[in-house]
């Protein structure tokens, strides 16, 4: 059995907006293996959520999706039709969303909603489904699981609800979990617990985990590999160590320079910022999307599409024509990159 759980090749998502065609995701490619966590990082609006929704085929009805390859456990997903995808959703791949407070139906008990996820995809009895639900509730760290099963969502706190969502995602034992900012809406202390839980579960159940976040701190804790997204494209991808120690794309460098590092950042040292704004994603664009804000920009940057090429360390890909020079710079003194 191959280790590769998900292969995405050249994924494009566009939305019709009054001003034209919004190209939210522009040719994104990545893969996830069993047991590894891919973190997709980027700021709001870079297209990371839509990427995950595109994989699950949960895009808004007006959106258009195109991909050269979209394979889950070796099976192509992009052309199999509504019914077949519904059979796979919640079954072989599951998604966890950002807002636990509103992601559960207030009219049904926790138990009902958990069991429903399993009963939909397996020919088993209600009792067995209930046992699995109990087991998972316990496994995700919810005390008094028996009682919780009969409770309604409004009787649980945000942290507990998110644990329920995780349990719900696990009901059918999926090979892939997509988690879209699962901790953003939670308290900082709970965030750590949830992340720890996700990492544990991934190891135990040997799943692939795609974690979407804007928080580099989370990436540092949990990522095996990282994909940095900007303006609908992946601008850099590689192992977590490589990205953090030797970022090769100016945007990644900028992101890292924004974070104070305990022990290294001096008092009074100015935190980096990236001036400017994300460019419009409407209509056709050429050249590097980051050019308008990049301190390393040269004339050639705006001329033609920049491709993702091997660069930096092994397995690392960068979308920048000057990446060799930049990697050299940052390897020597990461914090000194004055952006």
Distance CA 178, CA 195 (A): 13
User: Would you count residue 299 as binding another protein (CB under 8 A)?
Assistant: no
Min CB(121)–another protein separation in Å = 6
Q: How far apart are CA 106 and CA 302, in angstroms?
A: 51
Question: Considering the rule CB under 8 A, would residue 106 count as an interface residue with another protein?
Answer: yes
Least gap, CB of 132 to another protein (angstroms): 14
Residue 158 C-beta: closest distance to another protein, Å: 13
SS3 253: helix
The DSSP secondary structure of 209-222, one letter per residue, reads EEEEES-HHHHHHH
Name the one range near another protein by CB under 8 A: 11-19, 246-254, 273-281, 294-302: 273-281
Binding status of residue 99 toward another protein by CB under 8 A? yes
Cβ 242 to another protein, closest distance in Å? 30
Q: Spell out the residues 6+ positions from residue 147 whose beta carbon is closer than 8 angstroms to its own.
A: none
Q: Are strands 20-33 and 69-72 parallel, antiparallel or unpaired?
A: unpaired
Q: Alpha-carbon distance 181 to 175, whole Å? A: 19
Pick 86 or 261: Cβ nearer another protein? 86
Residues 6+ apart with CB under 8 A from 192: none
Strand partners, 108: none
Least distance in angstroms from the C-beta of 95 to another protein: 5
Give the residue with the Cβ less far from another protein, 92 or 323: 92
Q: How far is CA 65 from CA 18, 285, 306, 310, in A?
A: 19, 19, 22, 27
Which of 3, 10, 76, 87 touches another protein (CB under 8 A)? 87
φ, ψ at 200 (rounded to 5°): -60, -50
Task: Between 273 and 324, name the residue whose CB sits nearer to another protein.
Answer: 273
In the block, residue with structure tokens 């001329």 = 303
Least distance in angstroms from the C-beta of 26 to another protein? 17
Alpha-carbon span 111 to 90, nearest angstrom: 16
> 199 in helix, strand or coil?
helix
Q: Does 275 bind another protein (CB under 8 A)?
A: yes
In the complex, least distance from residue 195 CB atom to another protein, rounded to whole angstroms: 21
Of 130-189, which residues contact another protein (CB under 8 A)?
152, 154, 165, 168
Question: Binding another protein by CB under 8 A: which of 173, 292, 302, 313?
Answer: 292
Question: What's the number of CA atoms in the CB half-sphere (13 Å) around residue 6?
Answer: 28
- Considering only 33, 43, 116, 215, the residue that binds another protein (CB under 8 A) is 116
Residues that bind another protein (CB under 8 A): 56, 58, 86-91, 94-95, 97, 99, 102-108, 116-117, 120-121, 152, 154, 165, 168, 275-277, 279-280, 292
């Amino acid at each position: 059995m191959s280790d590769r759980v998900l292969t995405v090749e050249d994924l494009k998502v566009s939305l019709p907006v009054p001003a034209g065609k919004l190209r939210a995701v522009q040719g994104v490619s990545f893969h996830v293996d069993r047991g590894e966590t891919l973190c997709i990082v980027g700021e709001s609006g870079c297209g990371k959520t839509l990427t995950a929704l595109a994989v699950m085929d949960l895009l808004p009805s007006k959106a258009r999706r195109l991909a050269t390859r979209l394979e889950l456990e070796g099976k192509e997903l992009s052309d199999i039709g509504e019914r077949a995808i519904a059979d796979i959703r919640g079954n072989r791949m599951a998604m966890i969303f950002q807002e636990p407070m509103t992601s559960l139906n207030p009219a049904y008990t926790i138990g009902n909603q958990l069991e429903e996820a399993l009963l939909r995809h397996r020919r088993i009895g209600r009792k067995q489904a209930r046992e699995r639900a109990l087991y998972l509730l316990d496994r995700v760290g919810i005390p008094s699981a028996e009682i919780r099963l009969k409770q309604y969502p409004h009787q649980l706190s945000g942290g507990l609800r998110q644990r329920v969502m995780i349990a719900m995602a696990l009901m059918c034992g999926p090979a892939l979990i997509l988690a879209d900012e699962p901790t953003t809406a939670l308290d900082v202390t709970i965030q750590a617990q949830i992340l720890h839980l996700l990492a544990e579960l991934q190891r135990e159940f040997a799943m692939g985990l795609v974690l979407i976040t804007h928080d580099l701190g989370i990436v540092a804790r949990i990522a095996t590999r990282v994909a940095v997204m900007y303006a609908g494209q992946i601008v850099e991808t590689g192992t977590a160590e490589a990205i953090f120690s030797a970022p090769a794309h100016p945007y990644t460098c900028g992101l890292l320079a924004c974070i104070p590092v305990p022990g290294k950042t001096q008092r009074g040292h100015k935190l980096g910022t990236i001036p400017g704004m994300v460019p419009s994603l409407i209509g056709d664009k050429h050249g590097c999307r980051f050019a308008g804000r990049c301190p390393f920009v040269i004339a050639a940057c705006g001329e033609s599409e920049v491709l993702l090429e091997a660069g930096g360390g092994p397995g690392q890909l960068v979308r920048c024509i000057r990446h060799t020079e930049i990697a050299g710079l940052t390897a020597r003194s990461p914090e000194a990159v004055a952006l």
